[in-house]
Amino acid sequence: QLYSTIGWHPTEAGSYSQEIEDMIVSQLDNPKVVALGEIGLDYYWMEDPKEVQIEVFKRQIGLSKKYNLPFVVHTRDALEDTYDVIKEVGVGPRGGIMHSYSGSLEMAQKFVDLGMMISFSGVVTFKKALDVQEAAQKLPLDRILVETDAPYLAPVPKRGRENRTGYTRYVVDKIAELRGLTSEEVARATYDNAMRIFGLND
Ligand SMILES: [Zn+2]
């Protein structure tokens, strides 16, 4: 029941090469590989210059389109540039996912308008994450996902501990509370959304 994404992370952008790209491409027809990712921009760690990260990000969005897979985006302190790159390159018919989203509703809506889905991690349960909570509350239900990001970002009430995949239930509970739905309804909707974007069947 395990599936994988494969991609070259932005904190490693400087070591991207044709050889790496060939290695990634060689895995893309594996039925267990369901997306290109994590790809994106990380200006927090800034291991490589912006221009290098942007180039590697663009190349891999291109691969996702060429091989007809969705892509999963990691972005940190780089939301505006991330938006500009995705808009410029364009989202393929399989769409893409903003992983562990931590921006505003307004920005999330712009990504949704480009054809992206928005994925929420434990961050949505954090007391001060009001922006993220508003996004989780108001985005269309058919455009949101939940995720673990384990071992990081454990949700309240497990915040600060090593995260576990099972704790994703607290993310679901929080979104249900925000939207006035039952946890079962949010679990069902996000499950269906994940199956749809990754091209999996029940
Ligand atoms: Zn990430």
pLDDT at position 168 is 98
Q: How far is it, in rounded angstroms, from Cα 62 to Cα 69?
A: 10
Distance 127 CA to ligand 1 centre (A): 21
Q: Is the pLDDT of residue 137 over 80?
A: yes
Predicted confidence (pLDDT) per residue in 19-51, tens digit? 999 999 999 999 999 999 999 999 999 999 999
Q: How far is it, in rounded angstroms, from Cα 100 to Cα 50?
A: 21
Across residues 183-188, what is the average pLDDT? 98
Distance 26 CA to ligand 1 centre (A): 23
pLDDT at position 10 is 98
Distance 102 CA to ligand 1 centre (A): 11
Distance 177 CA to ligand 1 centre (A): 25
Distance 76 CA to ligand 1 centre (A): 8
Q: How far is it, in rounded angstroms, from Cα 127 to Cα 168?
A: 17
Indicate the pLDDT class of residue 196, thresholds 50, 70 and 90: very high
Among residues of the chain, what percentage have pLDDT more than 70?
A: 100
Distance 62 CA to ligand 1 centre (A): 20
pLDDT at position 1 is 85
Domains in the chain (CATH in brackets) are: 1-94 (3.20.20.140), 121-202 (no CATH)
Predicted confidence (pLDDT) per residue in 61-84, tens digit? 999 999 999 999 999 999 999 999
